[in-house]
Structure 1
Amino acid sequence: MKKTFILILCALALAAWLLYIWLNTPNSAQKATHIATVCNVIKQNHDFSNETELLKQVQFTFGNSTPSYALHPQKFYSAYAGKIAGQYFKLSAAEKTQAQHNFEKCKRLLSQ
């Protein structure tokens, strides 16, 4: 009886953890939207000195790009956007310049 209860409790905890991971992980379309948003922000403003500034602007842009009357506004995945912002700051100076001036190149660089 006690073993069964512990097994059920463990199974429920595992299910809750998997549900949490699933709800907080963007799918491929959502990833593409986040990458595109980061690239748009980078293209409009080249003067970000750190990831936090870039992430703050990306979140602002993402939040204001969906009309308030939308039936299904997109969810912003802050952790994923932070990862993309971090990737941008790991690029070389030449790659950053390419990303700032070429949207498609930016998407390719940040999708890796």
Structure 2
Amino acid sequence: MQKPALIFGIFSLIIIAVFFYWQNTPNSQDRRKHQAIFCNVIRQPNTVLQSEALFESFAFYFNNSTPTYAYHKPKFYQNYAHKLVERYLNEFPQNQLKAQQSFDQCMLILEKD
């Protein structure tokens, strides 16, 4: 009698883990939206290009890019946002400068996985 309960418990834990992973991982459309907004953030004059300040600016712009009356507000994926910030900051300075000057170059840099 204990074996079916154990199998059900393990199966339930797997389903819950998959659900939480799915809820916290952006799809391709959400990734592109995050990348585009991040590229716009780093192209702003006087943007502080340090990890926490850059993340806070990114979160602010993302959360305020959709009107308050919008029916569907996109979800801000914090883990993915931190990944984008770190990916940008780990680039060579000349690549960072290219990303700041060109939206297309920025998107190319951020698409690397």
Tell me the residue number matched to 2:78: 78
Shift of 1:46: 5.4
Shift of 1:66: 0.6
1:46, 1:110 → 2: CA distance? Answer: 21
Alignment TM-score, normalising by the size of structure 2: 0.95
Cα pair 2:41 2:47 within 8 Å, conserved: no
Alignment TM-score, normalising by the size of structure 1: 0.96
Cα pair 1:100 1:106 within 8 Å, conserved: yes
Shift of 1:51: 1.4
Percentage of pairs with the same residue: 33
Shift of 1:52: 1.1
Cα pair 2:38 2:58 within 8 Å, conserved: yes
Higher helix content, 1 or 2? 1
Cα pair 1:46 1:100 within 8 Å, conserved: no
Q: Residue type matched to 1:16 in 2?
A: I
Aligned 1:47-62 pairs, distance under 5 A:
47-62=47-62
2:19, 2:65 → 1: CA distance? Answer: 28
The total of aligned residue pairs comes to 112
Tell me the residue number matched to 1:38: 38
Q: What are structure 2's unaligned runs of at least 5 residues?
A: none
2:14, 2:45 → 1: CA distance? Answer: 43
Q: Can you list the C-alpha shifts for 1:41-85, whole angstroms capped at 9, x where unaligned?
A: 000045424211111000000011111111110000010011000
Cα pair 1:51 1:85 within 8 Å, conserved: yes
2:46, 2:96 → 1: CA distance? Answer: 9
Q: How large is the Cα RMSD of the aligned pairs?
A: 1.0
Higher alpha-carbon deviation: 23-32 or 38-47: 38-47
Cα pair 2:47 2:54 within 8 Å, conserved: no
